[in-house]
């Protein structure tokens, strides 16, 4: 699979688990902060497990940049339609005449996500870590299936504009896959960032419990909130 992450705190622990502990080295972690640099894009293209990117060195060095987006339009990506109002833009300073004005652009990270999804063409799973903000979803949020600490990109569009919860995969991840070693050990030091990141687990347990409650499964709701099945 390919797993898009946001920054250092949700990337470096994964690299440690892969390269030091040997856990799932087949999963390619794609950092959406580093993807704005040319050297990292070349690494994604050239080093295994390789990311499908048929970009030349010349294109990466000279043409891989934010692109002006003054006229909103929808985008087609591997059979997915990204609505014009869902395309993420950022205002960049630019010279307009003799004045510096801020103009909307689509950043290179968004273009690269689209290109990777297009070239992968559903031949391998694509995930976004839940630590990735919606502004870095490349407008694909409505095609997300929530499976615990990650959203899986699907071809099916969800009702509304948000992700849907995959109950069985989320349950399995929370109760059978994830390890919570040291979370209740006061001798284990955790800084403010770690404390904040740990709330993601609370959010997932709560979402699963709410889904069970909406389905009338009161026993599973209570068990989820208490942390057991």
Which pLDDT belongs to residue 159? 81
β-pair partners for 146: 151, 165
Which pLDDT belongs to residue 95? 83
Which pLDDT belongs to residue 97? 83
What one-character DSSP code corresponds to residue 84?
A: G
Which pLDDT belongs to residue 98? 87
Per DSSP bridges, beta strands 75-77 and 80-82 are antiparallel
Closest CA to 64 of 29, 100, 39: 39
Supply the pTM of this predicted model: 0.93
Cα distance between residue 110 and residue 102, in whole Å: 19
Element (H, E) at 25: none
Cα distance between residue 90 and residue 141, in whole Å: 18
Which pLDDT belongs to residue 229? 61
Using DSSP's 3-state secondary structure scheme, residue 57 falls into: helix
Tell the residue number behind the tokens 């470096």, with chain if given.
Answer: 12
Low-confidence ranges of the chain (pLDDT < 50): none
């Amino acid at each position: 699979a390919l797993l898009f992450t946001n920054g250092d705190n949700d990337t470096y622990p994964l690299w440690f688990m892969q390269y030091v502990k040997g856990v799932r080295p087949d999963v390619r972690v794609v950092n959406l902060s580093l993807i704005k640099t040319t050297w990292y894009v070349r690494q994604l293209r050239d080093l295994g497990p390789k990311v499908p990117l048929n970009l030349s060195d010349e294109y990466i060095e000279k043409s891989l940049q934010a692109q002006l987006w003054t006229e909103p339009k929808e985008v087609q990506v591997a059979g997915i339609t990204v609505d014009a109002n869902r395309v993420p833009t950022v205002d960049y300073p630019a010279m307009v005449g003799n004045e510096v004005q801020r103009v909307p652009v689509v950043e290179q990270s968004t273009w690269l996500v689209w290109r990777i999804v297009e070239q992968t063409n559903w031949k391998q799973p694509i995930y976004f870590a839940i630590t990735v903000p919606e502004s870095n979803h490349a407008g694909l949020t409505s095609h997300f299936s929530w499976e615990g600490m990650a959203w899986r990109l699907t071809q099916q569009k969800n009702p509304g504009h948000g992700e849907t919860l995959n109950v069985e995969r989320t349950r399995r991840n929370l109760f059978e896959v994830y390890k919570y070693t040291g979370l209740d050990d006061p001798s284990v030091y955790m800084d403010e960032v770690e404390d904040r990141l740990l709330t993601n687990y609370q959010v997932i347990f709560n979402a699963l419990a709410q889904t069970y409650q909406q389905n009338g499964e009161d026993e599973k709701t209570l068990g989820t909130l208490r942390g057991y099945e």
